[in-house]
A and B are shown apart, each in its own frame.
Chain A
Amino acid sequence: MGEWWRQVLLITRREVRDQLRDWRIVLPIVGMTLFFPLLMTLTANAMVNYVQKFGAEIIGERMYPFLMMVVGFFPSSISLVVALESFAGERERRTIEPLLAAPLDDAQLYLGKLLAVLFLPVSVSYVGIVVYLVGLWKAVHWSPPFLTMLLVFLLTGLQAVLMVSGAVVISTQATSVRSANLLASLIIVPVALLLQWESLNLFWQKYSVLWATAAVVAMLSVVAARLGIAHFNREDLLGREIDELNLRWLWRAFWDGFRGGAHSLREWLGVAKNDLHELRWVFLGSLVLLAAAGALGGWLTARYFPPSFAQQVQIADLHKAFTSPMPLINVPLMNWRAALAIWLHNVLTLTVASAAALFTLGVGGVLIAMLPFGIIGGGMVFVGKSGLMSPWAMLAFFILPHGIVEIPAIALYTAATLQMSASLIAPSPGKRLGEVWMYALARWLRVGLVWVIPMLAVAAVLETWLTPWVVMRYFGG
């Protein structure tokens, strides 16, 4: 293992030295390490002085940590450029072949390059933050709380890892730097959104949200790095000469995956049945994951909602909730329109989760699927604290009558999403990333169409008629 890593670090060292020999990289690095942080210090001071005139000291206070993140982010954005260039550039300059012909594993090559493109920008980010903080300390004697500083350092590093992991995947799949740059929007857009999200929470000092964000970004980074290693192969780097978006080929890969080799509807349903068998262990794992989300929701509610707040809720409120027309569609329960609305709502939620899953390699989809379970867990604790009923009674009478179908449907969706991510990050010899992705997507859609959506329809019917009936009986109505 020592020898294995020694070779990885050899590649890293060579790449870093090569970067340091390029003035086009060195100049921005010097600028971003020294001048930019000092400029930010001056900006922060000027801004704080300005807003103080209007009694808005709080904006000033929040500005310091925000600019700390900005100082860290800008240099790390260089890593994107370097990473996009890593494989595609070497391929273009035709320097990749001797390296590929060396006795190295694919993973060694990949990791060596990944570390190389991370090392300089992240180091520069950290040095920049330190310069900014030292400047700020000298100027106004401000220093961030340790945990805030740790959080910003962590987020800066993780963002860089995420960007670089994604960019290296693109770089291995692109045939030229130009095409890699064109594909970079796949990274820039989500990272820009992430940065806005982080800025917002930093201003609002929602540090718990930022810690959770760091955890998600860490997960995504690991998944992206794994995806890169899984689909990096020498053959792709040498075999392809041009980037082709072959829609017909993609459609064929998708259709083959969707059909699963079936020639009739009956056979296809058999394939879908087999999906259930294949997913059984992931399904059980998903149930555990959803239960964990419920437990977390319960724990957070117990911690952040005082019992006095819960006790303000009256039984009449719950009764009213079940007898009033549903919000938005203004239709009472026990009505077909209500069932349709519930079903559409659930399908829509899973569609949004699916869109998030596509952009986040499944992680976003799983998190959105977990969210309602957190709310249920929270709700259970809440009603328990209010003294209205036992949390288990709530589970039994409010949730399970329709949840008996809905929970497995969501667990199945979660399992299929996890399996889609797993198949993306698992090595598939002889298959291209696009092909693997189309195949995984097709299988995921098959599970959704054959099992999840119909199950949600059944659950909606139960939720419209059975659950209210059980609740009424429970309350003696």
Chain B
Amino acid sequence: MLRAIHLAKQFDGFWAVSDFTLSVRAGEVVAVLGPNGAGKTTSVRMLVSLLRPSRGEAWVAGFNTLTHGKAVRAHVGVLTEQHGLYRRMPAEEYLDFFARLYGINEKSRSERIERWMRYFGLWEFRKQRIANFSKGMRQKLALARALIHEPPVLLLDEPTSAMDPESARLVREAIAGLRSRERAVLLCTHNLAEAESLADRIAIMRAGKIIATGTPRQLKDRWLGLPIYEAATSHPIHNLPPLPPQVEVLQAVGNILRFRSPDWRHYNPLVAQALVQSGFRLVYMRELPRSLEEVYLKVMQHG
């Protein structure tokens, strides 16, 4: 649904984006993580055909962004960091204006406006001027605008930045509800929790270049090593029972055993079995949580 190959953009001798290579399939949510100035917004603008890439190519919804800019824009919904709403306009009129720009006929227009406004809980406020809306309401209205033409590709650039936690949560919930089999969603953010909670895959960007991609688990495995598991027994482990050589014991203190195993499906039951056979009663076994933040910081330092 979205494919970018070595996209790059230069402004007055400065490469804002030097290599953006990424694909997003239909039904997939991909988050692009990166610090301010990493080139996320410029990449999104190139994908919407607002900026002409200095190098590379991209296809969005089957259209080349260089040669079919208008068609690309017709098939993409964009939510920018700045919601870009006309403050003096009533909310319903605002959506109607954009629906007309996208060439939606009158019947579908009113049906879609009502559907999306209800979905985002804005229907009661439809006659109000946007200036009276809270930040969260404005961002949701902007999301409704991005969705009014039901695009197969949704590009969300920093959708919750500069929002209070409650508004941000509302917007995140709304985005989570947009996941669909037909829609590809690209989410640019520097909010790690947001990326982890919403995305199937994550791409980490630094200084204009994507330096790591994968599912959250793949990224953690690659950058933090294999997952660490913790087993708790009913009484202290003084003598560790023999475990398969592939299992790397990291710590056995008190009644806690921490270990790494290359394939948890295969080896974790063997560890549990060995402990039980040695007379320990297993209280629990769990994977120790590894934060995306650690991955992010490691990638930023060494990627």
Contacts and interface: CB of A to CB of B under 8 A. Distances in A.
Interface of A: 3, 7, 10-11, 14, 17-18, 21-22, 94-105, 234-235, 238-239, 429-430
Contacts of A239: 11, 51
Contact of B52 (A95, A99, A101, A235): A235
A101 B48 contact: yes
Contact of B70 (A96, A104, A238): A104
Given A14-B86, A97-B82, A101-B80, 5 more contacts: A7-B103, A10-B101, A103-B70, A104-B73, A239-B51
Given A97-B50, A238-B50, A239-B11, A102 B84 contact: no
B85 A95 contact: yes
B11 A102 contact: no
B141 to A, nearest CB: 11
B190 interface: no
A437 B84 CA distance: 33
A18 B70 CA distance: 26
B50 A101 contact: yes
Contacts of A97: 50, 78, 80, 82, 84
Contacts of B97: 10, 14
A191 B89 CA distance: 34
A234 B50 contact: yes
Given A3-B103, A94-B84, A105-B70, A100 B50 contact: yes
Interface of B: 11, 45, 48, 50-52, 70-71, 73-74, 76, 78, 80, 82, 84-86, 88-89, 97-98, 100-103, 142, 145
B127 to A, nearest CB: 14
Contact of B73 (A14, A22, A94, A101): A101
Contact of A103 (B84, B88, B101): B101
7 contacts: A21-B88, A94-B84, A97-B80, A103-B102, A103-B103, A104-B73, A239-B51
A251 B260 CA distance: 65
Contacts of A3: 103
A428 to B, nearest CB: 13
Contact of B51 (A22, A105, A235): A235
Nearest to A13: B97
Which 5 pairs of residues, A with B, have the shortest CB-CB distance? A103-B74, A94-B82, A98-B84, A103-B73, A21-B88
B98 A98 contact: yes
B73 A102 contact: yes
A18 B88 CA distance: 7
A22 B87 CA distance: 11
Contacts of A105: 70
A305 B11 CA distance: 63
